[in-house]
Structure 1
Amino acid sequence: MEAYDILQAVESNAQARVLATVIHVEGHAYRKQGAIMLLMANESSLGSISPGCLEADLSAYVPAVWESQKPQMVEYDMRPADDFGWGATIGCGGLIRILLEPVSGELLVNLLAVKASLDRGEAVHLLRTFSDGYSNITYTFCDPDEGAPSDRQVVYASLFTPKPRVIVFGANPDAMPLAQMAASVGFRVVVADWREAFCNVERFPGAETVVAFPEQLVEQLKLNAQDYVIVMSHQFEKDSAFVRGAMESSLRYLGIMGSRDRTEKMLEGLERPDCLHYPVGLKIGSEGPVENAVSIVAELIRMKRGVRTTGEWASSAAMRRDIQSCRLW
C-alpha cells in the first residue's frame, strides 16, 4: 500500500490511532527503512511492514501508545542464530526498529499537511527531532531538493512523494482490467477518451476520467516528467494525435499498444524519446485483456522501481534511432 493511501485514511478515518514507521533496519527485512503502516482502534491495520508476523504484536501496543499520547520505539531482533522462531517466520533474520506514534496533535496536523502537499503534486520531507529518548518529537518540513539537514538532532527524515500517475488513453473494454490493476499496485489512474459513453466512473471505478478530444486532452492533463502514459484507443488517427501531443512533454513512460509496424508508421518523422516503449508491456506471451494488463503493469512497476532486466537492450535514444526500435525486453 502506498503512503498516500495511508494518509488518505488518516484524513478520513476516525479509527486511526497509531502510525508505525520502520526507522532502522540491519540485515535483511521484508520492508525497507521508511515503510509505514496505520494501526486502527478496531485492531485492523492498513499497510504492512512484515509478511504478517509482526503486525499482530504491534497491534498490542496500540492501547498504551494511544492512552499515553507518547511515541514508543519497538525493536525486533531476528539476527541470533538460535532464534529460529523469528528467523523462519519473517524470513529475513535482520533487526528492525519501529517507531509507534499516536495519530493526534502535532503529528496529525503534519500528516494532513503532507497529504495536502501530495495533492498539489509536491514532494516533501517530514523531519522528526527527538528529545527525552523517543517520548517527545518535534516535526518540521524541508524541500526534498535541498535534502535533509545534517543536524545530528534530526534522527529521522521521511520522504513523501506524490502518487505516480498512470494515464490511459482509450476507454475501451480492454482498458478496464488495466486501470483496475494499476490502481491496485499503487498508481493514481486517469482514463482519458473523447467518448463520454465509454469514459465514466461506472466503467472505471476508482479512476479519474477526463473526456475530450486528443488535442484538448494533452493540455487538460498537464503531463509531467513523472507521468506514465499508455495509448490504447485502437483508432489510428486518435492515437497518433495523442502521441504527438504527449511527446511534446517530458514523461517517465510512454507505451503504445499495437503492432510494431503500426507504431512505426505513427512515429514517422518524430524524434523518439527514451521514455518510449512499443509494443507496450513486458514480453511474456500475454493474450487477452487481463494478461495484457499484467504485462503492462509489470513493466510500469519495473520502470517505477528502476529495475533493469537481463537481456534489456536498446536503452539509449541513439541506439533506438539506429535500429528503429525502442522496446525493452
Structure 2
Amino acid sequence: MDDIHVMLDHLDQLKLPAFLATIVQVEGSAYKKESACMLIQGDGESFGFISAGCLEQDLIERVKRGEGSQIVVYDMSTEDDLSFGASAGCNGIIHVLLERIDSLYLTHLQRVKSLVQSGKEVLLVKDLLLNSYLCIPEGEEPFGRASHFSSLEIKNVIHQASSSGKTSKRVYTHEGNPVFTQQINPKPRLLLFGAGEDAFPLVSLAADTGFNVIVSDWRQSLCTVERFPKAIRVLHGFPHEVVQTLDVRSNDFIILMTHHFEHDQTLLKLLRGRRLAFLGVLGSAKRTARLLEQQEVPTDVRSPVGLSIGAQGATEIAVSIVAELIQVVRSNPSTVNKELVG
C-alpha cells in the first residue's frame, strides 16, 4: 500500500499534537523515495515508515523534544550521519519535511481522505520555504494554508506537476520558491466474483497491498462481511444482477473465480468489451477458451490469472495473482490512476 494511504487510514486515531514526515528529495540511493511518509505523535508513537529503520527514531526524538516544522537533511553517504543505513541501501542524501499537524491541518487531511475514498484525485502542494500547503481536488476548489498562491500560480504548479508521469516531484513557483507536489490517487479497486475458500487469502493479500476489494457471490451464506472483513463491500446476487447494479469503472481489476462454468461464462459476456485495467479468470487457458467459445484466450483476458511462479495451493496462487495486479499498476500507473476518476 502507498504510504499516503497508510497515513490517511490512521488519521481517525491520531492524537494531537502530531507531525507528518515526508521525504521530499532524494539524492543518490535510498530505501524509499520521494512522497514516502509517516505520522508521529507527540508521545512518540508512529504510523508508517520512511526508511529501513535508519531515520525513524531520530525523527521521533525530534518530535518528543518539541522541535517545530522543518526540513531535516540526512547525509547517509558519510560514516557519521546514521551511517548504519548504508547496509540497507540508504547511502544517499535524504531530505525529510517535518510538518506539525494542528486541528486545522488534520481537518484538511481528513477531507482529502474523504475525497480520495469517493474516487477523486487530489494534488497536495507544499511550499517548502513558507511552511504552507494547498490541497487541489479534481474539479473542486483548492483548500489549505497557502493563500499566497494566486489562481495563475496554482495553474502553473498543476501544469508542472502533471508534465511527467511521476506522482511526486519538486517544482518552483514564479518567485523561485521550491514546492513539493504529491498526487494522491484513489486505491485501485478489485472486483472479485466468487467467495469460495480460495478467495480468503486473495482478498486479504490484495487489501493489504493497497486494493479496495469488493467480493460478490450468489451464495448468501458465503458472501458475508464476517467471512471477508478486509473487503470494503460484499455483494450478494447472481452475476447478471450484480453487474447491472455495480458501477464498473474503466480502471477496475476484475477476477472471476466462481468455479461455476455458466456463471463465469455469463460474467465474461457481460464484462468483455468494457474498458478495464485487468480481467482475469482463475483456471486453465483451455477452460477459459471454452467459456469464450473460442480456440484461444484473447489478449484482453488473462488466463490462467497470476504470474507463472509454480504456485500451489490457495495462498501461493493468491500471491501470484496479486503480484500480477501490482505489475499492471506499476507498469502504467498514470493510466490506471487516471482512469479511477474517468
Does TM-score exceed 0.5, indicating one fold?
Answer: yes
Aligned to 1:163: 187
Shift of 1:44: 2.6
Q: Distance in 2 between matches of 1:270 and 1:154?
A: 57
C-alpha contact 2:122 2:135 (8 A) present in aligned 1: no
Deviations 1:245-275 (A, max 9, x none): 2224211111100111110011236997755
C-alpha contact 1:79 1:87 (8 A) present in aligned 2: no
Q: Distance in 2 between matches of 1:98 and 1:231?
A: 43
Summarize the Cα distance change of 1:83–1:57 in structure 2 as closer, same or farther, 3 Å threshold. closer
Query: 34-43 or 7-16, which moves further after superposition?
Result: 7-16
Q: SS at the partner of 1:217?
A: helix
Query: 74-83 or 228-237, which moves further after superposition?
Result: 74-83
Aligned to 1:47: 48
Q: Distance in 2 between matches of 1:108 and 1:153?
A: 25
One-letter code aligned to 1:217: V
Structure 1, unmatched stretches of 5+, are: 308-329
The structure 2 residue matched to 1:261, chosen from 277, 286, 291, is 286
Q: 2:339 aligned with 1:302, yes or no?
A: no
Aligned to 2:24: 23
Q: Distance in 2 between matches of 1:14 and 1:55?
A: 18
Aligned to 2:63: 62
Aligned to 1:225: 250
Deviations 1:185-211 (A, max 9, x none): 121111111111001111111212111
Q: Distance in 2 between matches of 1:191 and 1:109?
A: 32
Q: 2:111 aligned with 1:113, yes or no?
A: yes
Q: Distance in 2 between matches of 1:83 and 1:303?
A: 38
Aligned to 2:340: none
The structure 2 residue matched to 1:129, chosen from 127, 130, 138, is 127
Deviations 1:127-167 (A, max 9, x none): 1224xx45x31424254995446634351111100011111
Q: 2:318 aligned with 1:293, yes or no?
A: yes
Q: Distance in 2 between matches of 1:278 and 1:188?
A: 22
C-alpha contact 1:210 1:217 (8 A) present in aligned 2: yes
Aligned to 2:14: 13
Q: SS at the partner of 1:203?
A: coil
One-letter code aligned to 1:181: L
C-alpha contact 2:120 2:138 (8 A) present in aligned 1: no
Aligned to 1:237: 262
Aligned to 2:134: 139
One-letter code aligned to 1:162: P
C-alpha contact 1:125 1:148 (8 A) present in aligned 2: no
Aligned to 2:96: 98
C-alpha contact 1:28 1:94 (8 A) present in aligned 2: yes
Aligned to 2:83: 85
The structure 1 residue matched to 2:202, chosen from 161, 178, 183, is 178
Summarize the Cα distance change of 1:12–1:92 in structure 2 as closer, same or farther, 3 Å threshold. closer
Q: Distance in 2 between matches of 1:269 and 1:32?
A: 45
Q: Distance in 1 between matches of 2:127 and 2:296?
A: 49
The structure 1 residue matched to 2:229, chosen from 185, 193, 205, is 205
Deviations 1:83-128 (A, max 9, x none): 6934534423101101111222442232122111111101110112
Query: 52-61 or 86-95, which moves further after superposition?
Result: 86-95
C-alpha contact 2:20 2:38 (8 A) present in aligned 1: yes
Output the aligned Cα RMSD: 2.6
Percent sequence identity over aligned pairs: 39
How high is the TM-score relative to the length of structure 2? 0.80
How high is the TM-score relative to the length of structure 1? 0.83
One-letter code aligned to 1:137: S
Q: Distance in 2 between matches of 1:128 and 1:115?
A: 17
Shift of 1:223: 1.5
Summarize the Cα distance change of 1:162–1:142 in structure 2 as closer, same or farther, 3 Å threshold. closer
